[in-house]
Structure 1
Amino acid sequence: MAISWISALKVIPWGDVIEAAPGLVKGARKVFSRTQAEPAVSQPSAGELAESPAQRIERLEVAVARLGEQQQAAAALLESLAEHNAKVVDAIEVLRLRSKLLTGACAVLLLAVAALATTQLLR
């Protein structure tokens, strides 16, 4: 079991992961801080109700634009995470194939050892 973990750690492109980690953390913090800084939707105050329709539309357009920016930032972060996830999946696939090959090699060696032991016992 320890050998598979060591192999997994060797196959993963750690240089790319370490290089991209600060950007991912920064993007995640930015998205998180934006979502936490946004006030919750509440009932409009008396002052907001007294606004003209044009003022209300302008305020709503600003809010929609801000939400669009947050959505784009979240999408970029998710895309970056998906790329890293794909790299990890590729590395796991390589490990899976190598473990199959190693299992086959072990089976062949086991048969060879059994054949040698049998020939030695029959002599």
Structure 2
Amino acid sequence: MAISWISALKVIPWGDVIEAAPGLVKGARKVFTRTQPEPVVVQDPAAPPQQRIEQLEAAVARLGEQQQAAAALIESLAEHNAKVVEAIERLRLRSRLLMGTCAVLLAAVGTLAWLVLR
């Protein structure tokens, strides 16, 4: 079982993972801090409509920025997830090849032992 874990660790592009980790953490923190509820600004009902519209437009702009940051982070995480899935698929194929090779070697050793002991 240890050999499969060692193979798994060798196949994963750790350089890429380590290189991208600080950016992912920074992006996640940025999204987290931006999505924290801001204190609600009580709008003065007596304020002119233009001022209230400007406040609402600013709030919508902030929400748009938060959405774009979250989308970029999700895209980055999806790319890394795809790399991990590719690495797992390569490991699966290698393990099948290894199992087939072991079966052939076991048959060869069994045949050789049978010939020697006969």
What TM-score does the superposition give when structure 2 sets the normalisation length? 0.91
**Residue in structure 2 matched with residue 94 of structure 1 by the alignment:** 90
TM-superposed deviation, 1:37:
5.0
Quick one: distance in 2 between partners of 1:48 and 1:27? Answer: 35
For 2:99, the aligned partner's letter is T
Structure 1 SS opposite 2:47:
coil
**Which residue of 61, 65, 79 corresponds with 1:83?**
79
Q: How many percent identity over aligned positions?
A: 78
**Residue in structure 1 matched with residue 38 of structure 2 by the alignment:** 38
TM-superposed deviation, 1:113:
1.3
Structure 1 SS opposite 2:19:
helix
**1:1-123 counterparts in 2 under 5 A?**
1-36=1-36, 38-39=38-39, 45=42, 47-122=43-118
Quick one: distance in 2 between partners of 1:109 and 1:38? Answer: 66
What TM-score does the superposition give when structure 1 sets the normalisation length? 0.88
Quick one: distance in 2 between partners of 1:82 and 1:99? Answer: 25
Structure 2: gaps spanning 5 or more residues:
none
Give the length in aligned residue pairs.
Answer: 118
For 2:11, the aligned partner's letter is V
TM-superposed deviation, 1:51:
2.0
